[in-house]
Amino acid sequence: MELYGDRGFENTTVAEIAERAGVTERTFFRHFADKREVLFGGSGALKEQMVAAVAGAPVSAPPIEAVAAGLDVLVAVLGERRDFSRRRRAIIAANAELRERELIKLALLASAMAAVLRTRGVAEPTASLAAEAGMAAFRVAWERWTGEADEANLPQLIRESLDELRAVTGSGGS
């Protein structure tokens, strides 16, 4: 992250990353397919955890509340790593390829949650709409959390985004 921040993603080599980490390039490639994965590694495990959380939501939970359970996993993973998340966001924002990769990751997470909603008996297009809307609410909250100077925490911002979504759609409940 420091190298990407100092030198830019494009100007940072795998050799430099490996040297900074105190490992060989071969060891680097045992852990990461390429230098992008330093920023996106763990996406598969994250998806599995989110899917499990959506699947484990109470049967009576409306689709958006089941999706909110999946978003709670993102909060747990990100934790209090606001400064790290801000640096990561800036690095991704500065590179079109990384922005595209981030959007693909978010789309895959939404697709996985929609699939779980369908196994819970939620019909289309409701399953896809709930998952996509939930990810949009997360994205808005995450951008606020990584971009604002206020002290609001990520779970609070996600709740506010979901509440705004409910207000926009005219649905009640929290």
Residue 167 dihedral angles phi and psi, to the nearest 5°: -65, -40
Helix pair angle (96-119, 82-93), 10° resolution: 120
3-state secondary structure of 136: helix
pTM (2 decimals)? 0.86
The model's pLDDT over 45-68, given as tens digits with 9 standing for 90+, comes to 899 999 999 999 999 999 999 999
pLDDT of residue 172: 58
Higher pLDDT, 158 or 43: 158
The model's pLDDT over 93-102, given as tens digits with 9 standing for 90+, comes to 999 999 999 9
Nearest C-alpha neighbor of 112 from the set 94, 95, 134: 134
